[in-house]
């Protein structure tokens, strides 16, 4: 079967699971052949030797498995990261958290920070690359996440400055932190997620409790108790009110909610002692 024929057979199969079936079929075929996508257009009459291998990839995507798990990698900020089932695929909105955290790290000359819930390592690795003076302690409860994050940190040459700790939140972190960053699970337990997320991504990375913001509340409480100076977190777009109440209860000195390009609340920056 030629490249062209294989693509046109794959497209109808991907219509339910993909917004852009032709584009994803091309990406999967390019991945299968170990070529760039453009190669397909210049060689559309070429015969595909392992057509069954390509069919298997299409079947997985047809069953709503995320593209990133099928190819084992994803793009985030300015880097590529390895991902696998059991480790959350980093989302574009988390790049906003990097920008907010970078402002504080720069202004406050932060040299040690803690990330709670490191996942694939996306946040810690990008921050370590941006700030060569930064030492990071990164926690997670998931062995799979810690293993992949460590692997990604080696691939990006920052492993020496990130210490990975298996820990509930910051419980096992002994060192003092000037700043904490976190994109914790914050989705309410009964929220209906899309099939590709609910059936394939780790629930421990998604669901934050009955209301959703329980872990955010615990992180705010813990960082305040430990005398951490700054906290930057991602949050759900419907969590402004409960989080604002938590700020008032604690009496934070500085607070800022940041929004995404659609104007939805996406996270916050808190200064405890300023
Ligand atoms: C939304 S994911 C974020 C992953 C990564 N930081 C990112 O932004 O792509 C949340 C992560 O927190 C971890 N996690 C969940 N509960 C935790 C807890 N109590 N303590 C530490 N990590 C936790 C999950 O395993 C998951 O890797």
Give the side-chain half-sphere CA count within 13 A for 272. Answer: 21
Q: Whose CA is nearest to atom 19 of ligand 1?
A: 168
- Spans of all domains in the chain: 3-63, 76-80+86-271
Contact 198, 67 (CB under 8 A): no
* Homologous superfamily, domain 76-80+86-271: Vaccinia Virus protein VP39 (3.40.50.150)
Question: Helix or strand or coil: residue 241?
Answer: helix
Instruction: Find the 212 Cα to ligand 1 centroid distance in Å.
Output: 14
The pLDDT assigned to 273 comes to 81
The pLDDT assigned to 118 comes to 98
Q: Whose CA is nearest to atom 11 of ligand 1?
A: 117
Instruction: Find the 255 Cα to ligand 1 centroid distance in Å.
Output: 23
Backbone angles phi, psi at 208, to 5 degrees: -100, 0
Tell me which of 100, 164, 184, 201 to substitute to probe ligand 1's pocket, judged by most ligand atoms within 8 Å of the beta carbon: 184
pLDDT digit string (tens) for the chain, length 274 residues: 999 999 999 999 999 999 999 999 999 999 999 999 999 999 999 999 999 999 999 999 999 999 999 999 999 999 999 999 999 999 999 999 999 999 999 999 999 999 999 999 999 999 999 999 999 999 999 999 999 999 999 999 999 999 999 999 999 999 889 999 999 999 999 999 999 999 999 999 999 999 999 999 999 999 999 999 999 999 999 999 999 999 999 999 999 999 999 999 999 999 998 6
The pLDDT assigned to 176 comes to 87
Neighbouring C-beta atoms of residue 54, cutoff 10 Å: 23
Q: Whose CA is nearest to atom 27 of ligand 1?
A: 119
Q: Whose CA is nearest to atom 9 of ligand 1?
A: 90
Pocket of ligand 1 (CB under 6 A): 88, 90, 94, 116-120, 122-123, 139-142, 145, 168-169, 183-185, 204-205
Instruction: Find the 187 Cα to ligand 1 centroid distance in Å.
Output: 12
Tell me which of 88, 162, 165 to substitute to probe ligand 1's pocket, judged by most ligand atoms within 8 Å of the beta carbon: 88
The pLDDT assigned to 240 comes to 97
Q: Whose CA is nearest to atom 2 of ligand 1?
A: 205
Question: Helix or strand or coil: residue 2?
Answer: strand
| Burial of 41 per CB tally in 10 Å (0-12, 13-18, 19+) | exposed
Q: Whose CA is nearest to atom 26 of ligand 1?
A: 205
C-alpha 64, offset from chain centre: 19
* Paired strand residues for 91: none
Closest atom of ligand 1 to 218 CA is 19
The pLDDT assigned to 175 comes to 86
Strands (E), the chain: 73-76, 79-82, 112-116, 135-140, 162-166, 179-182, 187-188, 207-209, 230-234, 254-259, 265-271
Whole-number Å distance between alpha carbons of 127 and 247: 26
Output the CA torsion 48→85→216→168 (10° steps): -150
Neighbouring C-beta atoms of residue 170, cutoff 10 Å: 24
């Amino acid at each position: 079967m030629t490249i062209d024929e294989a693509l046109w057979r794959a497209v109808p199969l991907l219509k339910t699971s993909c917004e852009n079936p032709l584009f994803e079929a091309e990406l999967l075929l390019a991945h299968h052949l170990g070529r760039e996508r453009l190669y397909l257009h210049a060689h559309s009459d070429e015969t595909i030797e392992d057509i069954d291998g390509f069919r298997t990839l299409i079947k997985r995507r047809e069953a709503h498995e995320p593209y990133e798990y099928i190819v084992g990698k994803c793009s985030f900020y300015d880097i590529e990261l390895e991902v696998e089932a059991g480790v959350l695929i980093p989302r574009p909105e988390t790049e906003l958290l990097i920008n907010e955290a970078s402002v504080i790290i720069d202004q406050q000359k932060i040299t040690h920070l803690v990330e709670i819930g490191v996942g694939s390592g996306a946040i810690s690795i990008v921050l370590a690359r941006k700030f060569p003076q930064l030492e990071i302690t990164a926690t997670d409860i998931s062995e799979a996440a810690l293993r992949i994050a460590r692997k990604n940190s080696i691939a990006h040459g920052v492993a020496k400055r990130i210490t990975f700790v298996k820990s509930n939140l910051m419980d096992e972190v002994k060192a003092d932190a000037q700043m904490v960053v976190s994109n914790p699970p914050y989705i309410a337990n009964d929220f209906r997620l899309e099939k590709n997320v609910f059936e394939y991504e780790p629930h421990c990375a998604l669901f934050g409790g009955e209301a959703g913001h329980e872990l955010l509340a615990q992180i705010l409480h813990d960082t305040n108790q430990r005398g951490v100076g700054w906290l930057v977190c991602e949050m759900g777009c419907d969590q402004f009110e409960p989080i604002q109440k938590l700020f008032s209860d604690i009496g934070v000195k500085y607070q800022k909610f940041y929004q995404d390009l659609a104007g939805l609340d996406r996270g916050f920056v808190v200064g405890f002692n300023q």
